[in-house]
Chain A
Amino acid sequence: MTTKRPPALALALLRRVAADNDPLVGDLMEEFDNGRSASWFWRQVLTAAVTRPLAPGQGRDRGPRLAINTRRPGESAGLLGVPPVAPGPKPIGFMNISSVQVDGIGGLGLVVAAFCAALEFEQLRASMLVAVCGGVVLGGLMILLRRRRGPSVPRHNDPADLLRAALSPERFRTHDHGTPGRHPVDHPPVLAAVS
């Protein structure tokens, strides 16, 4: 008995995104073997890639970015290492909402996967073109907004900002008392960091 092989690229992507979910990989291969189309397989894989990391408690921990605390108020003691007095419902924990994270792929990998899918399926090309144009317009708007906002003040605890300030001091203001969360600087930024 011969088994039908799913699209190699989709299968490789599925193995990456569902590395710890063998039953899902097996189910999709079984369904494909039972006569499902390549576009069905691609749709399943891409949806799995996009939606899976949104489930709390799954996906690689890449450190805190923008996060919301989904614990209940009474459970906050657990954050300090002290267990809650009464065992309440299981806390959901922190859920990263700053970006879509896909295990082992990342944003660029998703773009490449979408591009490859568009190469394979003609009906996806229009959507891909719209997405690319939207991305270019959004990027341009962000650059314009950044330029209009003008130079910023380096953050003392950010080595990248300090390096930028040392290389091109004209990009940074020397006085800024009005921006919340930023430190006023009365002397050159690099000196401010060491003083």
Chain B
Amino acid sequence: MNMRTHLLTDFELMILLAVLRVGSEAYGVPVAREIESTGGRTVIVSAVYAALDRLERNGLVTSSVGDPTPERGGRAKRFFTVTPTGIRAIKDTQRALTALWTNVPQLEGSRS
């Protein structure tokens, strides 16, 4: 029996990859910055949190609350970690996208 694959939207995929790239310090600000600098798109921080909440409900990330800091007005950071299910979802999405990418004459030779 085939295991159900979880395909991610482009924004979810970017967020999961950004969380992985940032590492242990992955909270809202660095994740948003990573998407902006690497992904080249402007990010609304509340949209990042909304997507991360959805990913957490689906078991693709987990979160933990850190210590409050003065520059944040005494508010705590919420750190995110990608779960093994999340890693599998990233790989499933990559596989699906790669499969769609192949044998499309218009796209041949366009990859640098």
The answer for the CA separation of A25 and B45 in the assembled complex, in Å, is 10
Q: Is B91 an interface residue when CB atoms closer than 8 A count as contact? A: no
Residues of A within 8 A of B28 (CB): 23-24, 27
Contacting A33 at CB < 8 Å: which of B44, B50, B71? B71
Residues of B within 8 A of A47 (CB): 44, 46-47
Q: Is A48 an interface residue when CB atoms closer than 8 A count as contact? A: yes
> Known interface pairs A26-B73, A33-B71. Does A43 touch B44 (Cβ–Cβ under 8 Å)?
yes
Let me know if A30 and B57 touch, CB within 8 A.
no
Is chain B's interface secondary structure helix, strand, loop, or mixed overall? Answer: helix
Residues of B within 8 A of A30 (CB): 29, 69, 71-72
Contacting A29 at CB < 8 Å: which of B57, B65, B71? B71
Residues of B within 8 A of A29 (CB): 71-73, 75
> Known interface pairs A29-B73, A43-B44, A44-B44. Does A21 touch B29 (Cβ–Cβ under 8 Å)?
no
Number of A-B contacts defined by CB within 8 Å? 68
> Known interface pairs A3-B71, A44-B44, A47-B44. Does A21 touch B76 (Cβ–Cβ under 8 Å)?
no
| Complex interface bits, B74-106 against A, C-beta within 8 A gives 1, otherwise 0 | 011110000000000000000000000000000
Let me know if B73 and A23 touch, CB within 8 A.
no
- What is the minimal beta-carbon distance from B26 to any residue of chain A, in angstroms? 12
Q: Count how many chain B residues have C-beta atoms less than 8 Å from C-beta atoms of the other chain.
A: 24
Q: Is A176 an interface residue when CB atoms closer than 8 A count as contact? A: no
| Complex interface bits, B8-51 against A, C-beta within 8 A gives 1, otherwise 0 | 00000000000000000001110010000000000011110110
- What is the minimal beta-carbon distance from B37 to any residue of chain A, in angstroms? 14
The answer for the CA separation of A1 and B29 in the assembled complex, in Å, is 21
The answer for the CA separation of A13 and B72 in the assembled complex, in Å, is 17
Let me know if B46 and A48 touch, CB within 8 A.
yes
The answer for the CA separation of A117 and B54 in the assembled complex, in Å, is 30
Contacting B46 at CB < 8 Å: which of A1, A44, A90? A44
Q: Is B70 an interface residue when CB atoms closer than 8 A count as contact? A: yes
Let me know if A3 and B44 touch, CB within 8 A.
no
Q: Is B56 an interface residue when CB atoms closer than 8 A count as contact? A: no
- What is the minimal beta-carbon distance from A4 to any residue of chain B, in angstroms? 9
Residues of A within 8 A of B75 (CB): 22-23, 25-26, 29
Let me know if B70 and A28 touch, CB within 8 A.
no
Let me know if A28 and B53 touch, CB within 8 A.
no
Let me know if A52 and B77 touch, CB within 8 A.
no
Contacting A23 at CB < 8 Å: which of B50, B57, B65? B65
| Complex interface bits, A1-44 against B, C-beta within 8 A gives 1, otherwise 0 | 10100000000000000100111111111110100000000011
Q: Which residues of A contact B (CB under 8 A)?
A: 1, 3, 18, 21-31, 33, 43-44, 47-48, 51-52, 55, 90
